[in-house]
Amino acid sequence: MRISVFGSLNYDITLWIARLPAPDETLPVDRLQEFCGGKGANQATAAARLGAEVAMIGCVGRDAHGDTLVRALERNGVDHRHVARVDEPTGTAFPLVAPDNVSILIARGANGVTGADHADAARAAISASDVLLIQGEVGGEGAGRAAQLAAAGDTAVVFNPAPVDDDVIRHVMPHVSIVVMNEQEQATVTVPEGIETVVTLGSRGAMVGDVHVAAFDVAVIDPTGAGDAFCAALAVAVAEGADVVNATRFASAAGACAVQVAGAEPSMPTRTQVEALLRAGL
């Protein structure tokens, strides 16, 4: 199966803290680590580790962080020919991991200039894909053009509107096949009738319309990137011909694998890991 991803690439600087700081408060950091991330790159990496042929479409800066992110894609077997080098700095994310919460600050950098011209340059890769994955961390015009090209070529569009961006939603939603979002996003995103909707519920599983898909009971080390593993796995399963409910169960297992590993890119699971958890959970 072939998956293309139009989305963000971020260099992550992750901070583990006892709790989020109050206004005007300074807190010590328990631990700091740097990882490859970005919702687009995470989903591309996960799809590749799950066995798909993957093309990543996005932008990084002409800097060391951009070099690191491109090398990571190559290491994971992701086609990065459509990752452009631009004059803006590489996007940077700052996940704040507290015991009961993960908050993320993002400096969009190069992701903010990922546009329609980059989608057009990757037209052949998008049209040849079974599924196109799009998120909310890039500009609406570019994301919308990628979705339009996919729909015109009978490529299914799986849209993860995170973070919620009205401009991205306006451009992308007319071309979407499946929307994947959490409860917070569901409260603000209107999905037109006829589009399959998957709502993730964390430790309570997920909903596909009125159908509940149970979660897997695992120890949570770091939830950063779990949603990206979920989206990628769902896209892979759909590309393989699964219906959305069965694809969601496969995706739930991928997300459960991801939360057991620190960092975004390192936590994206392999096919073997996901299938082992599925067998154990039956």
Domain span holding position 200: 2-17+32-281
CA-CA distance, 38 to 43, in Å (whole number)? 8
SS (H, E, C) the chain: CEEEEECCCEEEEEEECCCCCCCCCCCCCCEEEEEEECHHHHHHHHHHHCCCEEEEEEEEECCHHHHHHHHHHHHCCCEEEEEEEECCCCEEEEEEEECCEEEEEEECHHHHHCCHHHHHHCHHHHHCCCEEEEECCCCHHHHHHHHHHHHHCCCEEEEECCCCCHHHHHHHHHHCCEEEEEHHHHCCCCCCCCCEEEEECHHHCEEECCEEECCCCCCCCCCCCHHHHHHHHHHHHHHCCCCHHHHHHHHHHHHHHHCCCCCCHHHCCCHHHHHHHHHHHC
188 lies in some domain: yes
> Which pLDDT does position 100 carry in this prediction?
80
Asked if the structure places residue 22 within a domain, the reply is: no
CATH at residue 216 = 3.40.1190.20
What contacts 103, CB < 8 A, 6 or more positions away? 20, 95, 96
Q: What percent of the chain has pLDDT over 90?
A: 89
Q: What is the pLDDT of residues 112-167, one digit of tens each?
A: 999 999 999 999 999 999 999 999 999 999 999 999 999 999 999 999 999 999 99
Predicted model pTM = 0.93
What average pLDDT is seen over the chain?
95
Is 13 a residue whose pLDDT tops 70? yes
Is the confidence at residue 282, as pLDDT, over 70? no
Cα–Cα distances (Å) from 85 to 32, 62, 132, 179, in that order, read 28, 6, 22, 29
Domains identified in the chain, total number: 1
- Residue 241 domain-assigned (yes or no): yes
- The pLDDT value recorded for residue 55 is 98
Query: Is residue 24 assigned to a domain?
Result: no
CA-CA-CA-CA torsion sign (104, 100, 269, 29): positive
Is residue 27 a part of any domain in this protein?
Answer: no
Tell me if 210 is assigned to some domain. Answer: yes
In a domain, 256, yes or no: yes
Which residue is catalytic, options 24, 167, 228, 243?
Answer: 228
With respect to residue 25, please indicate whether it lies within any of the assigned structural domains: no
Among the residue ranges 31-35, 177-181, 260-264, the one predicted with the least confidence is 260-264
- To the query of whether residue 217 is one of the catalytic residues in this protein, the response is no
**Nearest CA to 221 among 273, 175, 261?**
261
